[in-house]
Amino acid sequence: MKKTIKIIMIVVLVAIVGIVLINLIKKPDYGPLQIDEDITKINTVGWQDSAFISPDGNELYFAYMPYAQKIFMDIYFGKISEEEVQRMGPIRPGNHGNFNFDTYRAVKNEDDTWSTPINLNINSDYSLYSAKLSYDGNELYYAIREYDKNYGADDIYVSKKLPDGTWSPPENLGPNINTRFRDDHPSLSSDGQTLYFTRSEKEVLGIEIMVSKKIDGEWTKAEKLPQPINQLNPKDKANHQPFITYEGKELYFTRMMQLYVSEKQDDGNWGEPISVFPDLDASGHASVTADGKYLYFLTVKDKESFERHEWLLAYSEKQPDGSWGEPRPVD
């Protein structure tokens, strides 16, 4: 009898220990999906990307994924599930399955704050990012990743503004622009006749800036920009995210996570690139208002944010000496 009681006590004890261990190692419950006032802002705990300020400075376009870049990589490698991250919140309304970016638009209010970002009608189940308006505001150029109408991994598309303010369905720019590689980050000259963009054979390195001219309504076969914009041994380099200013005299671009600018010389060639914010841990995705007074770009708060890959949208004002002032978050 005593032996039986002892066996029962051991079984109960093992069961209790098992329950405790299960509670300790089971995945955390993040609770219901959180949507709060933070989604009314541009900068959130998510991944903000591809900043673009409209020529008049009154519209801000950006891509958004509901988790920071490092968390995205944790999801990608199976360290955490996408559902668990979404429950951390806040989640901006949109199409966010399969690690997708949506592109959003915010409008400047009378008090210089920004309206709640609204996702564009052309977003879908595919990542849409690096959107930029034509200088007349009638066209929107952008990239779509792994779309079934692509020539390669990422292709550049254009949509035309409709009378109701929405955008027409995506139109592929064709094989003179898009290839079997990754083609993205378009930037159109103010006269609409020159297109700068990025082409990469790999995801991180091997990235170069391309240019194409529009002749008789058709884009010419894109060519690589020469040095000093692109560099020797391009497979070990990353020059991307170009932006051509209204006057066409400055080309901003990102080189290895730092923002650079090159000025067009009297002979028509581009000058040696200069770092725009050498004291920042990271910067990129630049765009400038048509009057040249404001620069919008992507950066990080500090080294810790850089290590966590937590990006935010910031802007800088042109100073009397021609330099850019201290960067400030857009909100």
pLDDT at 90: 55
Q: Roughly how many angstroms between the first and final C-alpha of the chain, as a whole number?
A: 74
Q: Are strands 250-255 and 239-244 parallel, antiparallel or unpaired?
A: antiparallel
> Residue 16 domain-assigned?
no
> Residue 92 domain-assigned?
yes
> Residue 208 domain-assigned?
yes
* Average pLDDT along the chain, 331 residues, taken 10 residues at a time: 46 40 34 48 85 97 78 68 61 72 95 94 94 97 94 96 97 97 97 97 79 97 96 82 97 95 96 96 95 95 66 94 95 90
Alpha-carbon span 177 to 179, nearest angstrom: 7
> Residue 141 domain-assigned?
yes
> Residue 230 domain-assigned?
yes
CATH of the domain at 123: 2.115.10.20
> Residue 68 domain-assigned?
yes
> Residue 13 domain-assigned?
no
pLDDT at 95: 75
* Helix, strand, coil percentages in the chain from 3-state DSSP, rounded to 5: 15, 35, 50
pLDDT at 203: 61
Instruction: Return phi, psi of residue 330, to 5°.
Output: -70, -25
CA angle 201, 231, 323 (to 5 degrees): 115
User: What six digits make up the tokens of 58?
Assistant: 């009154």
pLDDT at 306: 61
Strand partners, 255: 239, 258
CA angle 14, 17, 23 (to 5 degrees): 140
| pTM strictly above 0.75 | yes
Question: Is there a contact between 153 and 140 (Cβ–Cβ < 8 Å)?
Answer: no
Among 176, 169, 168, residue whose Cα is nearest residue 218: 176
Longest C-alpha distance within the chain, in Å?
A: 103
Question: Is there a contact between 105 and 92 (Cβ–Cβ < 8 Å)?
Answer: no
User: What six digits make up the tokens of 156?
Assistant: 């550049």
Sheet holding 294-299, edge to edge: 283-288, 294-299, 312-317, 328-329
pLDDT at 75: 67
Number of structural domains (the chain) is: 1
> Residue 19 domain-assigned?
no
Give the domain extent around 133.
Answer: 35-329
Supply the DSSP symbol for 40: G
